[in-house]
Chain A
Amino acid sequence: MKFLCLACDEGMKLETASGPRDGSLEATFVCPRCRYRVAMLTNPWETQLVQTLGVKVGGRAAPASPYEQVLGSLARPESEAEGSAGHELTSAGCPFAGMLGQAEQTEPLAGVLWTDAAKVRIERIPSFIRPMVQRAIERYALEQGHHLITDAIMDEARSRLGM
């Protein structure tokens, strides 16, 4: 979009750009010859179009931040919008959450013991998946009230967890 100063027949230059505010982008243009100024105000749909393209009216002063559009355009309930400003998002309750971060850690969970036979079986699982499987079985056992992982508990966990 360009603006033409009819009096001077001269293309106007972008002077300032701001927004969106209340669904509108604001940009002012000035004629470089007569200094006549106009303001362009977009309606909400025009504003949406610009945002959807991931570009800025008036150009960018700084490079786009990572996931700028995704994080900036996801609609969220009011109650959650406040907490989304930071970059540390809260964790949901996945039973495997945190396991991968502890991939190297294979110490049993507190309160869990493994029989020798069960230890041999867990060692047979490929190393890259072993910590994850171990944790899944240990958590399953604790949830069921067991503190000793036996062959039977392993079979039960594998069956119930689909492993």
Chain B
Amino acid sequence: MFDMLNIAVCIKQVPDSKTVRFDKETGMMIRDGVETIINPVDLNALETALSIKDRHKACVHVLTMGPPSAETALRDALSMGADQAYLLSDRAFAGADTLATTRVLAAAIKKIGTMDMVICGNQSVDGDTAQVGPGLAVRLQMVSVAYVDALELLPNAVKCKRMNGYGHATVLVGLPALFTVIPSINTPRMPSLKAKMKAKSAKIPVWTALDLGLSAEEVGLTGSPTRVLNTFVRSFEAKREYLEGDAQTQVAALCERLVAAGVL
């Protein structure tokens, strides 16, 4: 039987796509006025940890790598019920790819202490790689199970349902282990008033590369094997016929065209 469980949850602050608008000329995102949120599936990761804590003695540690403003994401996590939050922030961390990111997260988790479980969202909406979780597991000498849709703590292991692209598999995992979860695993709880008050005054340590015992060569852009060579816009050869008028007229015009094309 597990005694007190230590669970680390890694989260990321991302732009809120609901507030994103596009420039009509360039097709680029307009950065002004874009709000930030916790990467949605990271809330499911946190909920997974908190629901274990509901039934079992556990300490939930939340950490994020980001600019000083990412502290708000950590306070949100605390107000959902996380016990401790850690901000990994250093100018030297900027421009990190997934390999450099896992180095920072792994160093921080090791500094916090020995973890029984690490839980991450399967991927971030902006990076969209799904690489940080499994990569982090290797640095922590843990097995990993990705795309977890249900997770249950047994007396001496974790049983989970993981998606594999063809259906799902039920797997039994000895701890310590890292799990990446998908949105359908649960519904994240709302913050409680009590936890919200506590979160407001909570002390959040800020750790730099130096605090984590990492050199500047290991982190950020310098510590990243990949580089952005350039970006380019795709242009389309589309007909771009706008159907005008009120909704009735627009629908009628559309149906006419679809019938003429033989698709309706």
**Chain A partners chain B:** no
Interface residues of A (CB under 8 A from B): none
Interface residues of B (CB under 8 A from A): none
